[in-house]
Amino acid sequence: MPLKFFADQYFACKNCGKCCGIWEVPLTQEEKERIEKLSIPGIDFSKNKIFSKNKKHKSLYVINKKNRCCIFLGADKLCLIHKHHGEQLKPLTCRIYPFDIINWDDDVTSATLRYDCPAVCSQSGKKICSFGTDISALAKELYKKRKFADARYNRKLKPKLSNLRIIAEAYKNFLLDTRFRPTIRIFAAAKLIEFHSRPENSVDVLEAGSFFSRDAMELVKRSIKDLEFILSEPAPLNLHEKMIFRFLVGGFIRSDEEYAMKILPFARLSRVKEILKFSLGSGSLGKLCAQLPETSGIDPLEAVKGMKWDEDALDIYWNYIGSRLESLHFCGFPCLGLTFEEGMQHLIISYPVLASISALSARADKRGNITKDDVSKALIIIDHTFSRSQLFAIGYVKRMTAILCTEGTLASLLKPLP
């Protein structure tokens, strides 16, 4: 089966233990029984409750936690199953991470690294191509467990997957083209999505061929002056648009959502209060996500204004965009079931969201410049939410994202950005 991935990705585990933290590890009955037969120092299967039934999928189990970490995580941050019996005996979920592997309906397998793993965001380690054999072996195991993935362009258009890949390639080509400044690339992507949403242009999508990328690039080049003009004096955001944007920033940083869902209802109420405060502009990143700093009183929309960006600050973000577009992992099963159009709008809006979170972190640190580290931290959080939170599959959240991608609103969000 052909394997597709964005080549410029790297990984070498740093044993930080993050992936063995608060996330649930689902496993099958077979995996559970296999682990129960192992002799693992410090684990007594007869005395301790090691597994529980998965609440969402009745045929599955989850590994219980101790101090908010996987019960098999040792004090040295190493997995006890891996350490005493080798990697192969770990549940498939653990062996796959931080890869995201999808088997598609047209016999293509795609893989990306997950940017919520700090090692991936640091861009060090082995290149993704050197994991080719492991990825193929894991993809074979997934054949038996998951449905094959499919995707649509939007609710009306369903071109072949090969056409969707051509369209994604076209977006990748101009979004990663450093001849254009970042804001122009993102704005052009939004304009192109809008162009193809018109019924009279649907044939371009359905019959996308080798010409698509060339035409898209030509269109972007021809539109630069007009795009710069729109970006020069956009109308200010109205209150509704401001609230939607701040709400979405809050949504993108729900990295500890799984934990939040387990806390008592009154504690959840105080979380709702924090989300509301954040949507009104006076909340704090730190109150919504434990990994982010205290930023009370700094409006996410104001934080980016006047900020300087280090030259390499956004490199990892473009790498992330390239990986998503190459693999098509921003739409279709199992990533929230978004269409290509919805997935693209999500990627487009991730730029001002990431800028806002990075700027808030820099301001919390009393700096006037945004560094590579600020962007990496923001990306670790937003990639986590994108691949796990069901928030972005909700109709009204998709509508909010679409509103923020409209010409005037997006121009206003992008104006202060590089």
The contacts of residue 156 (CB under 8 Å, 6+ apart) are: 202
Residue in 19, 35, 73, 168 binding ligand SF4, rule: CB under 6 A: 19
Q: Nearer Cβ to ligand SF4, position 15 or 162? A: 15
Residue in 74, 91, 98, 322 binding ligand SF4, rule: CB under 6 A: 98
Asked if 18 is part of the footprint of ligand SF4 (rule: CB under 6 A), the reply reads yes
* In the complex, least distance from residue 125 CB atom to ligand SF4, rounded to whole angstroms: 9
Q: Nearer Cβ to ligand SF4, position 12 or 206? A: 12
Asked if 15 is part of the footprint of ligand SF4 (rule: CB under 6 A), the reply reads yes
- Mask for 114-153, x = binds ligand SF4 (CB under 6 A): ---xxx----------------------------------
Q: Nearer Cβ to ligand SF4, position 153 or 386? A: 386
Residue in 10, 17, 95, 221 binding ligand SF4, rule: CB under 6 A: 17
* In the complex, least distance from residue 118 CB atom to ligand SF4, rounded to whole angstroms: 6
Q: Nearer Cβ to ligand SF4, position 15 or 238? A: 15
User: How many residues of this chain bind ligand SF4 (CB under 6 A)?
Assistant: 12
Q: Nearer Cβ to ligand SF4, position 18 or 388? A: 18
Asked if 14 is part of the footprint of ligand SF4 (rule: CB under 6 A), the reply reads yes
Q: Nearer Cβ to ligand SF4, position 11 or 212? A: 11
Rounded (5°) CA angle 210-211-216: 120
Q: Nearer Cβ to ligand SF4, position 130 or 282? A: 130
d(CA 302, CA 356): 8
| Among 7, 56, 44, 52, residue whose Cα is nearest residue 323 | 7
Name the residues that contact ligand SF4, by CB under 6 A.
13-19, 97-98, 117-119
